[in-house]
C-alpha cells in the first residue's frame, strides 16, 4: 500500500485542497491489511473513508497510473 499511497501523493499532493488532504491523511492512518481489501473491492469501504480522494486513489491504482517507468 505504501507504493499506491506514495505514488498518489507524489502525483497529487501539490494540488489537493484541504478536504482532499484530510481524507488522504485519514487513509494513511488505516492499516495495510484493512485498506487493501477496500482498494481491491473485496470488502466495502466504510462511509468515513468512502471519499472522492479514496476513489481517485483506487482509480489510479487500477489504471496503472501510479506505476513509474
Q: What is the pLDDT along the chain (69 residues), one digit of tens a residue?
A: 888 899 999 999 999 999 999 999 999 999 999 999 999 999 999 999 999 999 999 998 888 776 544
Q: Three-state DSSP class for 16?
A: coil
d(CA 49, CA 27): 7
d(CA 1, CA 19): 21
Residue 39 contacts by C-beta under 8 Å, 6 or more apart in sequence?
A: 1, 4, 57, 58, 61
d(CA 43, CA 9): 23
Q: pTM for the full model? A: 0.85
Domain locations in the chain as residue ranges: 2-62
Q: What pLDDT sits at residue 69?
A: 41
Q: What pLDDT sits at residue 63?
A: 83
Q: What pLDDT sits at residue 66?
A: 63
Amino acid at each position: 500500500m505504501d507504493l499506491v499511497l506514495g505514488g498518489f501523493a507524489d502525483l497529487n499532493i501539490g494540488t489537493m485542497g484541504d478536504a482532499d488532504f484530510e481524507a488522504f491523511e485519514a487513509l494513511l492512518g488505516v492499516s495495510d491489511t484493512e485498506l487493501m481489501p477496500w482498494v481491491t473491492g473485496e470488502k466495502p469501504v466504510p462511509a468515513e473513508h468512502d471519499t472522492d480522494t479514496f476513489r481517485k486513489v483506487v482509480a489510479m491504482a487500477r489504471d496503472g497510473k501510479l506505476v513509474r517507468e
